Structure 1
Amino acid sequence: MRRRIVAVAAGVLLALTGVAAPATAAGHGPWVASWATAAQEAATEFGPNWSVEGFERQSLRQVVRASAGGLVTRVRLTNVYGTKPLRVAKATIARTAEGAAVRPDSVRPLTFGHRRSVEIPVGEETSSDLTVFRVAPLERVTITLYLAEATGPATMHLAANTTSYRAAGDHVADADGAAFTETSQSWYLLAGLDVAGQASRGSGVVTFGDSITDGAGATFGEYDRYPDDLAEALTPRPVLNTGIGGNRVLNDARCAGERAAARFERDVLDQPRAGTVIVLEGINDIGMPELPGEFPCVGQRPVVTAEQLIAGHRQLIRMAKADGMKIIGATMLPYQGTFYYSERGEAVRDAVNAWIRTSGEYDAVADFDRITADPAHPDALLPAYDSGDKLHPSDAGYAVMATEAAKAVRSLR
């Protein structure tokens, strides 16, 4: 059963159009998640960001790229890891221009229960009212929040792979970006962008995993992560990226997210009209025990067996199928030569990959290991597909992963 998002009916009376909206999203059919990200606890150990200090009397301007289009939109905000109620004084949505600028004729206020402001309890998410704001597939959209009161530590997503902007004072309605003089490479307080009113081909696809799904190693700002390429291949079908760098199947980490099963409901099952999930997880469970030194924010780093990892994958399969979702298993990529490689870990990776390929427990398989491996050295990435650290793919590597993932998704039809 999918968790009810707090507070906001989709159907509202739209003063802008004078059209009364019935409960089925103004007659536009059910909401579809067009963009989403995975929530993370405030932390700075894995990279500088604004999450720990939070925001006060500041405007936060953030850019996201929709995967599916629609005639109307709503924005989902999150206070899942907040330490106090989150008060958003004002919010707008607009079409992205250059940098922090937006198209002047496109700025629309967001409301929450017909009010400009909203308070989100600790541990909760909320969504805005329906807004008449047409979005095209693969269009960039800018969301601006004014946070008048101190937020405390802010729920975030560390690796946005795009630039976010901050300004002192209330600048939610500004078209130019002059006031937004500070930048960050993370997202804050955003959970998703939903659309309705325009048919998409099939239900949404959620890509779920670690830093490889999150897009580490991809060219910054160019939308070259494998989920980005997959969205282009499947357009106008929605594709969502809920990868978290450092994430694991079996253990939580303050700076790398809760373990896979603990966050699976929020990051996968709760996504509106998502019907398929691609799971790429396990390499951090295998590799992190080999890291030298202390990493308090990573938490426990036990040595794991193939049997333990397979049991973790089986839990995700059970959760997806109980919710009526199709689930695709992705084999773990080669990692020989990386900072936490070991022969022990390689044996575990091989065993889990063999189970993913042959067990038949996943509905389909995306064999990322096979397509990215160097034929001359099968335990290592093909050099053309290596971003440079022997672990994360290059743009070219992500492109072939997207092709393999698209094939697996289409096989489920």
Structure 2
Amino acid sequence: MDWRLHASLDKGRRRLLAAALTLGAALALPCLPALGQDWHDQHWTGTWGAGPGGPPLPATTQTFTDQTLRLVVHTSIGGKRVRIRVSNEMGTTPLRIGAAHVALRAAGADIVAGSDRPLTFGGNAWVVLPPGAPALSDPVDLDVAALSDLAVSLYLPGTVGATTIHGTASQTNYVSLPGDFTAAPTFPTQRTILSWPFLTEVAVDGGSGGGGAAIVALGDSITDGTRSTPDTNNRWPDWLARRLQTVRDPVVGLNARLGVVNRGISGNRLLSNPPEGSLAGRSIQERFDRDVLATNGVRYMTLMIGINDIGNSSETNPVTATDLIAGYRQVIARAHAKGIAVYGATLTPFEGAGYYSPEKEVVRQAVNAWIRSGDAFDGVIDFDRVTRDPANPARFLPAYDSGDHLHPNDLGYQAMGNAVPLELFRSLKTGKTEMAPARQ
């Protein structure tokens, strides 16, 4: 064949091929949006959460062998759809969850008939979480009421150590006999636990009712609800959630949808990490991004932290008010950079507690004076004023003292929750969310 004819044929073939590719691309382009779901109209808001601690020492690590966990959580707001966040963020080996379900809780470990929903992760009925990683489930349709109980069931094949765990749940949770019982209406309980392994958040979507905003309560054991009565939801953030659902404050608005996500961890500190093996969580400065910024719909944050920094400080290297204030300023700056309003809570009395000293009381008073000054926070919640004994301001009011002179009892937590000014959340109005103005 003459080379000129051959070249001409090759050139024609190339033109035909190019035209075909162009036509194919043009025909394919309109279909591309159908490859993914439209998520722009979703309004996810945290309705419940817990801050994970760990990893515990091997000798104190809870283990589960081919068992199902049924974990009970109490919602703050309701929604039409639900999803969960599970975590292996404290783990050093992959975590396999063989199946996961969510349902309305009936009583104990049992669920409401017809409410069970299997959860998937990227379309799969199982998920493997790499060390240090969380995972979000796919959404499922479920009518969730505010101030109600959900049961989240996780099947753990093989032998699994609870290296990522919230240690002080003040809530009875359930461990099954061997087997996958994630869908079981009546749960075959082998034992109960007062902790939340692996589960760190439940979020709801308001659907056509619009979005909401989450308040993250960041702190230590006094936010965590230590020494409150188990299974009664008497932590102070629980009382705040009740008020937001039941008190029709005209400042906040009748249709405000404010979720309350409790990120208190017992033993937690602002500036330093606890000893190895503790479940007290990483310092606030270390866990801020994970426990605050990653919360669905976060718009507000309360910060009550520092009493463990003060109480555990050594005589040779004591923590000062200046140290704590510098730490607070860092947290405030990081929150403001993401459009989150921060409300500072004064530190409650602790005279009589095991780590109290007059010198440490001076630091607490100095910190509280700075918080009250309004120098940096967007607002102040004066828990100290509400809980102290007027006859001895360094101590809890006896009616509010759980007995250890550090933590409130149920009545004290109720007083704290009732003391949070609802006008702090005035910027959330019907159908529109705006951040409260921040002081610089």
**TM-score over 0.5 for the pair:** yes
Q: How many residues align?
A: 379
Which of the pair has more CA radius of gyration?
A: 2
| Partner SS for 1:396 | helix
Identity %: 40
- What CA deviation, in whole Å up to 9, does each residue of 1:354-392 have, x standing for no partner? 000014210000011111111110111111111111110
- What CA deviation, in whole Å up to 9, does each residue of 1:209-256 have, x standing for no partner? 000000012111100110100111112410010001111111101411
Counterpart position of 1:382: 397
Counterpart position of 1:237: 258
Counterpart position of 1:138: 147
Check 1:359–1:105 CA distance in 2 against 1; reply closer, same or farther (3 A cut): closer
Counterpart position of 1:36: 49
Counterpart position of 2:180: 170
| 1:246 corresponds to which of 255, 267, 285 | 267
Counterpart position of 1:313: 328
Counterpart position of 1:356: 371
The answer to whether 1:155 aligns with 2:170 is: no
The answer to whether 1:365 aligns with 2:380 is: yes
CA contact 1:89–1:145 (8 Å) conserved in 2: yes
Matches of 2:161 and 2:229, distance apart in 1: 32
Shift of 1:257: 1.1
Matches of 2:357 and 2:374, distance apart in 1: 25
User: What residue identity is the alignment partner of 2:331?
Assistant: L
Check 1:213–1:56 CA distance in 2 against 1; reply closer, same or farther (3 A cut): same
Matches of 2:83 and 2:426, distance apart in 1: 31
| Partner SS for 2:65 | coil
| Partner SS for 2:402 | coil
User: What residue identity is the alignment partner of 2:313?
Assistant: P
**Aligned ranges for residues 316-327 of structure 1 at < 5 Å?**
316-327=331-342
Check 1:32–1:310 CA distance in 2 against 1; reply closer, same or farther (3 A cut): same
Check 1:310–1:134 CA distance in 2 against 1; reply closer, same or farther (3 A cut): same
| Partner SS for 2:163 | coil
Check 1:44–1:106 CA distance in 2 against 1; reply closer, same or farther (3 A cut): farther
CA contact 1:34–1:239 (8 Å) conserved in 2: yes
| 1:265 corresponds to which of 289, 300, 309 | 289
- After superposing on structure 2, the runs of 4+ consecutive aligned residues of structure 1 that deviate more than 6 Å are none
| Partner SS for 2:258 | coil
| Partner SS for 1:149 | strand
Matches of 1:44 and 1:399, distance apart in 2: 35
**Aligned ranges for residues 189-228 of structure 1 at < 5 Å?**
189-198=198-207, 199=209, 202-228=212-238
CA contact 1:217–1:392 (8 Å) conserved in 2: yes
- What CA deviation, in whole Å up to 9, does each residue of 1:304-355 have, x standing for no partner? 0110011111111111101110000000001111111101100000001000
TM-score, scaled to structure 1: 0.87
Matches of 2:216 and 2:382, distance apart in 1: 17
**Aligned ranges for residues 121-132 of structure 1 at < 5 Å?**
121-132=130-141
Counterpart position of 2:25: none
CA contact 1:84–1:151 (8 Å) conserved in 2: no
Counterpart position of 2:410: 395
Shift of 1:405: 1.8
Structure 1, gaps ≥5 residues long: 1-18, 292-300
CA contact 1:200–1:238 (8 Å) conserved in 2: no
User: What residue identity is the alignment partner of 2:185?
Assistant: A
| Partner SS for 1:106 | coil
| Partner SS for 2:349 | coil
CA contact 1:51–1:156 (8 Å) conserved in 2: no
Counterpart position of 2:24: none
CA contact 1:34–1:66 (8 Å) conserved in 2: yes
Check 1:183–1:20 CA distance in 2 against 1; reply closer, same or farther (3 A cut): farther
Counterpart position of 1:5: none
Structure 2, gaps ≥5 residues long: 1-33, 246-256, 428-435
- What CA deviation, in whole Å up to 9, does each residue of 1:192-222 have, x standing for no partner? 1111134478521110000000001211110
The answer to whether 1:61 aligns with 2:70 is: yes
| 2:349 corresponds to which of 331, 334, 339 | 334
TM-score, scaled to structure 2: 0.82
Matches of 1:217 and 1:119, distance apart in 2: 35
CA contact 1:246–1:284 (8 Å) conserved in 2: yes
Matches of 1:105 and 1:228, distance apart in 2: 28
CA contact 1:208–1:277 (8 Å) conserved in 2: yes
Check 1:103–1:44 CA distance in 2 against 1; reply closer, same or farther (3 A cut): farther
| Partner SS for 1:317 | helix
Counterpart position of 1:296: none
CA contact 2:56–2:163 (8 Å) conserved in 1: no
CA contact 1:216–1:392 (8 Å) conserved in 2: yes
| Partner SS for 1:55 | strand
User: What residue identity is the alignment partner of 2:340?
Assistant: M
Counterpart position of 1:184: 193
Matches of 1:156 and 1:208, distance apart in 2: 17
| Partner SS for 2:289 | helix
